[in-house]
């Protein structure tokens, strides 16, 4: 029976019973679940038609396996072989390839996103963190206290140096991380406090640095059992550290702490009195408002002035410096130098009228030799005389000097 004598079969539709999706024991590379289909491939056709070539059956099986439930019309070829023509197989293959690429791209993108998220999470955790909870604050402060305790114990313990050094090294690593975390999370609080002291002698960076030191000192003293927040507790430590830094480092001439605190009070009182009196207030008026001595107000007001460089020019139009117009010491004035020399010569002539012992006693008692003045008892030890005898000689010498005429020439220099 030849194949050509067989009638042409109409297009047959085979409906495959698709089984539900089964979880695979081994994960797929693309993360997609496999769908299995065990439907027979055109059983009616293969039973009715005895195909002489086994390769045709294999080809049909392969095509059917690629179709998975699609419509398979059968037509007779030129050679008389009935072959299933897969309508839309190329489209299905292209769709599957696109889907496969899409799934692969999504998985790669998801993996990159997860890796980048993990890296970003680690970086953010180490650089920028959220607000600290009460438990985290207590743990960080406890770490700082532990290091302070170890430092104190380090001065007392010497016999267990090996084990102690290891524990100290771990504690120092923990406190380094704790300080970095505290400084990072409380940077905003420090900046808000430093804004009130800006422009008073220290830069913003210096104020932030001093405030951070105060933060660490306050964290060491923090006790979470008292029911107080760490931010409330360290606020005063940060403020105190900034005030001390301004008092010590903002001026070339350092003022005492209590005097530095009066600068702001004096400035405020001066501003109020200026508006009230419409003139510049005196030291006494400011002292009356502040209930302090006028001398204290004057001292603080004068010492609080910023120092002026002597090499600074007087104005922009002139190159004349302050050192060229400010007078020097009184002793360096030529007139004063000549006057001082004349007084020395007159005193030497006046003392020449006395005997040698009287002149020496007068010089030692008044310090005319450029040395420290001595008492009668000290002069007696030098000359090996009693204190009373030195006193008698001294008064006798003064009576002789009062009777000389050379004394009138020295009265001109007496002020």
Q: Does some domain include residue 287?
A: yes
How large is the C-alpha radius of gyration of the chain? 53
pLDDT of residue 342: 85
The predicted-structure confidence for 51-69, as pLDDT tens digits, reads as follows: 444 444 444 444 444 444 4
We report the CATH number of the domain holding residue 230 as 1.10.601.10
pLDDT band at 148; cut points 50, 70, 90: low
Q: Does some domain include residue 97?
A: no
Q: Which of 87, 102, 120 is the last residue of a domain?
A: 87
Helices of type H across 352-385: 356-366, 376-383
Q: Is the whole model's pTM more than 0.75, yes or no? A: no
Q: Does some domain include residue 66?
A: yes
pLDDT of residue 388: 93
Q: Which of 235, 250, 265 is the last residue of a domain?
A: 250
Do 222 and 271 fall into the same domain? Answer: no
Half-sphere exposure of 75 (CA within 13 A, CB side): 7
Helices of type H across 221-331: 230-249, 257-277, 283-290, 294-303
pLDDT of residue 190: 92
pLDDT of residue 32: 37
- Torsions phi, psi of 342, nearest 5? -65, -35
Q: Are 290 and 265 in contact (CB under 8 A)?
A: yes
Give the burial class of 241: count Cβ atoms within 10 A of its Cβ; 0-12 exposed, 13-18 middle, 19 or more buried: buried
Q: Which of 224, 250, 276 is the last residue of a domain?
A: 250
Q: Does some domain include residue 123?
A: no
pLDDT band at 391; cut points 50, 70, 90: very high
The predicted-structure confidence for 181-224, as pLDDT tens digits, reads as follows: 888 888 899 999 998 888 877 889 999 999 999 988 888 888 87
Q: How many domains does the chain have?
A: 4
Q: Does some domain include residue 113?
A: no
We report the CATH number of the domain holding residue 401 as 1.10.10.10
Q: Does some domain include residue 279?
A: yes
pLDDT of residue 45: 41
Beta pairing partners, 321: 313
Angle, CA 209 vertex, CA 206 and CA 214 arms, to 5°: 125
- Number of Cβ atoms within 10 Å of the Cβ of 84: 22
d(CA 300, CA 268) in angstroms, rounded, equals 14
Do 211 and 227 fall into the same domain? Answer: yes
Q: Does some domain include residue 122?
A: no
pLDDT of residue 3: 42
Do 364 and 404 fall into the same domain? Answer: yes
* Owning domain of residue 314: 255-326
Do 291 and 366 fall into the same domain? Answer: no
The predicted-structure confidence for 313-371, as pLDDT tens digits, reads as follows: 877 777 888 877 777 676 677 788 888 888 888 888 888 888 999 989 998 998 887 77
pLDDT of residue 193: 92
């Amino acid at each position: 029976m030849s194949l050509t004598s067989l009638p042409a079969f109409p297009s047959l539709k085979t409906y495959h019973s698709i089984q539900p999706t089964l979880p695979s024991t081994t994960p797929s590379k693309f993360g997609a679940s496999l769908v299995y289909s065990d439907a027979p491939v055109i059983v009616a056709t293969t039973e009715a038609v005895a195909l002489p070539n086994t390769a045709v059956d294999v080809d049909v099986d392969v095509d059917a396996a690629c179709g998975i439930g699609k419509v398979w019309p059968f037509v007779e070829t030129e050679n008389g072989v009935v072959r299933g023509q897969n309508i839309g197989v190329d489209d299905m293959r292209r769709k599957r390839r696109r889907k496969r690429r899409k799934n692969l791209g999504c998985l790669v993108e998801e993996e990159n996103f997860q890796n980048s998220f993990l890296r970003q999470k680690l970086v953010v955790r180490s650089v920028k963190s959220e607000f600290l909870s009460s438990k985290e604050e207590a743990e960080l402060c406890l770490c700082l206290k532990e290091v302070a305790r170890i430092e104190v114990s380090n001065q007392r313990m010497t016999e267990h140096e090996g084990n102690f050094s290891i524990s100290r090294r771990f504690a120092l690593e923990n406190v380094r991380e704790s300080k970095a975390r505290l400084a990072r999370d409380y940077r905003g609080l420090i900046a808000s406090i430093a804004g009130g002291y800006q422009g008073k002698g220290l830069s913003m960076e210096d104020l932030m640095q001093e405030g951070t030191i105060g933060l660490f000192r306050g964290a060491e003293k923090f006790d979470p059992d008292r029911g107080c927040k760490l931010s409330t507790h360290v606020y005063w430590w940060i403020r105190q550290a900034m005030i001390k830094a301004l008092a010590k480092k903002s001026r070339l001439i350092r003022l005492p702490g209590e005097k530095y605190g009066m600068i702001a009070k004096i400035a405020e009182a001066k501003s109020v009195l200026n508006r009230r009196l419409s003139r510049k207030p005196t030291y006494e008026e400011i002292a009356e408002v502040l209930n302090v001595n006028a001398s204290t107000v004057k001292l603080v007001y004068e010492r609080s002035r910023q120092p002026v460089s002597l090499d600074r020019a007087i104005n922009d139009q002139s190159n004349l410096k302050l050192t060229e117009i400010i007078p020097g010491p009184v002793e360096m004035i030529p007139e004063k130098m000549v006057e001082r020399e004349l007084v020395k010569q007159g005193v030497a002539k006046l003392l020449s009228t006395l005997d040698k012992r009287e002149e020496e006693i007068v010089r030692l008692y008044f310090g005319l030799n450029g040395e420290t003045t001595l008492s009668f008892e000290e002069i007696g030890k030098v000359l090996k005389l009693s204190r009373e005898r030195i006193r008698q000689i001294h008064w006798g010498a003064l009576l002789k000097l009062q009777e000389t005429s050379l004394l009138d020439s020295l009265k001109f220099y007496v002020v």
